[in-house]
Structure 1
């Protein structure tokens, strides 16, 4: 069941009016869809943050715009003010509950690998996955058990749990977790530091000699 978030229309789109909306503790926003005209609205900042925190980034929200019939939406993107860490703008996308859509879902590694207990290091190259599903079937997170991973073992996209309600749109050979020996990590760090070093100028000494 979708969580409800109240909204109101923005009639005055001037900068001063937008600033006043933020001063009042609200977030200037836009709601739009494939077959819908975009509408300028605003929502309460506290309620928006609470909804995303409690329901997740891909939650279905029943946007209750004052004077209109509620519509099912997802938070498409939002902007924050870094210094104050406040949401200053949000985009809501109207969804068709019967139609599949592509979204990004967090990938979580559960457990402590055997290889880590033996001195290895767990690496996670991917933290998010592209998933296709109907809005109501989008998972909040996809988890994979890594307890049995030994040093040298790897989990790829093909090894992730299969589900009937969604499809993972990633290359099956892509690594999502691996346990590597400690010396491998040190080698990689060494390579990174070498890459960051300033390159030697070939022929610099010759040029200096000629200038003298």
Structure 2
């Protein structure tokens, strides 16, 4: 999985007024935690573009004034009106401790239902995956080459290798939906057969 670097600076003062001042300067208040300790810092908002505004999952190499952490973004908060980043939480990675991440779904293959006039509908763009950091996939491939009209691929049908998908097995990931025009034809054909 790709890793991006984020540079941070320790926060001397905590509190709402200090956080507000940092945001006005184009900075994002952050915290990194794990191993029973936490460190508060801030980073330039521009550095989060390739972490937050992307469909891909990424590991983060945090550098807080020379102290480095391998981690993942655990949570982020946005302003309800301006949608600017208010706060970001990071979780330290340990090689022997599994973590949970939202991993993007990537469709593979050509569905026969699409050739017949159906339309592919991606119902779930990310799956919640639990794995050791070394086993965390960049994306989860979902084979749609057997999907006919009205058929779906469910979470339970995905082969899991060294990771565990946390979503319910009955959740549909992708479906070939039948367009209204084709639904009418099927009903007419059934009526003629009667």
Shared fold (TM-score greater than 0.5)? yes
2:29 aligned residue: 28
Structure 1 unaligned residues grouped into runs of 5+:
187-212
1:168 aligned residue: 165
1:102 aligned residue: 100
Whether the 8 Å contact between 2:117 and 2:182 is mirrored in structure 1 is: no
| RMSD, aligned α-carbons | 2.9
Report how far residue 77 of structure 1 moved. Answer: 0.9
Taking the aligned partners of 1:55 and 1:64, their CA distance within structure 2 comes to 24
2:112 aligned residue: 114
Runs of 4+ in 1 over 6 A off after TM superposition: none
Secondary structure of the residue that 1:96 maps to in structure 2?
Answer: coil
Taking the aligned partners of 1:37 and 1:137, their CA distance within structure 2 comes to 25
Whether the 8 Å contact between 1:60 and 1:136 is mirrored in structure 2 is: no
Secondary structure of the residue that 1:32 maps to in structure 2?
Answer: strand
2:178 to 162, 169, 181: 181
Mapping of residues 1-212 of structure 1, within 5 Å: 2-33=3-34, 35-53=35-53, 56-57=56-57, 59-66=58-65, 69-163=67-161, 165-183=162-180
Residues 185, 176 of structure 1: CA spacing in aligned structure 2 closer, same or farther, 3 A cutoff? farther
Whether the 8 Å contact between 2:56 and 2:104 is mirrored in structure 1 is: no
CA deviation string 1:188-210 (max 9, x = no partner): xxxxxxxxxxxxxxxxxxxxxxx
Taking the aligned partners of 2:54 and 2:177, their CA distance within structure 1 comes to 35
Higher deviation after alignment, 86-95 or 140-149: 140-149
